[in-house]
């Protein structure tokens, strides 16, 4: 087989999770008497972990404000943590064909590499009955986040697979850049949260529009 290990991203790849993030973020903003933000904006901010998401929401845009007060952002982060802990998984759903696709890949070792914190990742995986698919789960607060190569290389090392025999599957430029930095091939999925970027510009080895399209890529000889 060309690949012996599949490294999956979570948000925007396996799970459409933005609605829960949108609710928890707006509860946080309204606690702080900040303006409410749209679901579309929240979707464009997902992908770099929760701390960055909260700071983008306080700034009201992708670019985090230089003038953001540390006491305010710490407070917002604490509030968001509480709201999202209540909310996570409530309205999150698997993308089309994810269940079928993961079942078809039963024989292939898989790891999950997400920028989401462990507390939320475990709750979400549990609610969606995904946990048992993965040999290893690496979260955003375990080590450096994507686009760092560190979590990808850690997974390869832990599961005893050469990076050249692993492949990353993700929805954002962070996934592609992390894979490039680790010298790991990558499939970019077009339906997730791409932060308004054209993923083609980052030259992934493969670009797929549907989750089932990844199967022939992963199982090629
Ligand atoms: O928490 C995020 O920002 C997104 O996490 P992901 O790495 O699973 O896409
Ligand atoms: Mg993602």
The 10s digit of each residue's pLDDT in 106-143 is 999 999 999 999 999 999 999 999 999 999 999 999 99
Bond into 187 cis (ω within 30): no
The Cα 32–Cα 123 span in angstroms is: 26
What distance in angstroms lies between residue 140's CA and the mean position of ligand 1's atoms? 8
**Residues facing 166 on adjacent strands:** 5
How much is the pLDDT for 131?
A: 98
Ligand nearest to the CA of 121: 1
CATH number of 18-87: 1.10.150
How much is the pLDDT for 101?
A: 98
Ligand nearest to the CA of 47: 1
What distance in angstroms lies between residue 199's CA and the mean position of ligand 2's atoms? 12
Grouping H, G, I as helix, E, B as strand and the rest as coil, residue 80 is helix
- Residue spans in the chain of domains classed CATH 3.40.50.1000: 5-16+92-218
5-16+92-218, superfamily in CATH? HAD superfamily/HAD-like (3.40.50.1000)
At which residue do the structure tokens 């005893």 appear?
Answer: 160
Atom of ligand 1 nearest to the CA of 174: 7
9 catalytic residue (yes or no): yes
Atom of ligand 1 nearest to the CA of 171: 9
Q: What are phi and psi of 84, to 5 degrees?
A: -70, -30
What distance in angstroms lies between residue 93's CA and the mean position of ligand 1's atoms? 15
Please identify which of the residues 4, 9, 185, 213 carries the catalytic annotation.
9
- Residue to substitute in 7, 8, 10 for testing ligand 1 pocket (most ligand atoms within 8 angstroms of CB): 10
Asked if residue 215 lies in contact with residue 164, where contact means CB atoms within 8 angstroms, the answer is: no
Strands (E), 81-184: 93-94, 110-113, 136-138, 166-170
Ligand 1: residues with CB < 6 A are: 9-12, 46-50, 53, 114-116
How much is the pLDDT for 56?
A: 97
Helices (H) and strands (E) in the chain, counts: 9, 8
For the CA atoms of 17, 19, 23, 26, what is the dihedral angle to 10 degrees? 100
Asked if residue 108 lies in contact with residue 6, where contact means CB atoms within 8 angstroms, the answer is: yes
- Residue spans in the chain of domains classed CATH 1.10.150: 18-87
pLDDT beneath 50, residues of the chain: none
The Cα 36–Cα 205 span in angstroms is: 38
- Nearest C-alpha to atom 4 of ligand 1 is from which residue? 47
What distance in angstroms lies between residue 156's CA and the mean position of ligand 2's atoms? 19
Cα separation values, 101 from 21, 40, 41, 133, 183, Å: 25, 27, 29, 11, 25
């Amino acid at each position: 087989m060309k690949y012996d290990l599949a490294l999956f991203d979570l948000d925007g790849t396996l799970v459409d999770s933005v609605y829960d993030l949108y609710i928890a973020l707006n509860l946080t903003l309204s606690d702080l008497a900040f303006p409410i933000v749209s679901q579309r904006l929240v979707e464009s901010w997902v992908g770099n972990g929760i701390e960055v998401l909260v700071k983008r929401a306080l700034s009201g845009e992708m670019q985090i404000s230089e003038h953001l007060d540390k006491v305010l952002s710490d407070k917002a982060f604490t509030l968001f943590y509480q709201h999202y802990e209540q909310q996570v998984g409530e309205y999150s759903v698997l993308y089309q064909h994810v269940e079928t696709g993961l079942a078809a890949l039963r024989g292939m070792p898989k790891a999950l590499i997400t920028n989401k914190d462990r507390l939320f990742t475990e709750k979400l995986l549990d609610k969606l009955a995904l946990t048992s698919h993965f040999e290893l789960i690496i979260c955003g607060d375990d080590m450096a986040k994507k686009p760092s190569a560190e979590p990808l290389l850690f997974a390869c090392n832990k599961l005893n697979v050469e990076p050249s025999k692993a492949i990353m599957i993700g929805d954002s430029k962070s996934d592609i850049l992390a894979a490039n930095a680790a010298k790991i091939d990558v499939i970019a999925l077009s339906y997730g949260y791409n932060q308004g970027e054209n993923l083609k510009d980052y030259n992934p080895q493969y670009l797929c529009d549907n989750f089932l399209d990844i199967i022939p890529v992963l199982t090629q000889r």
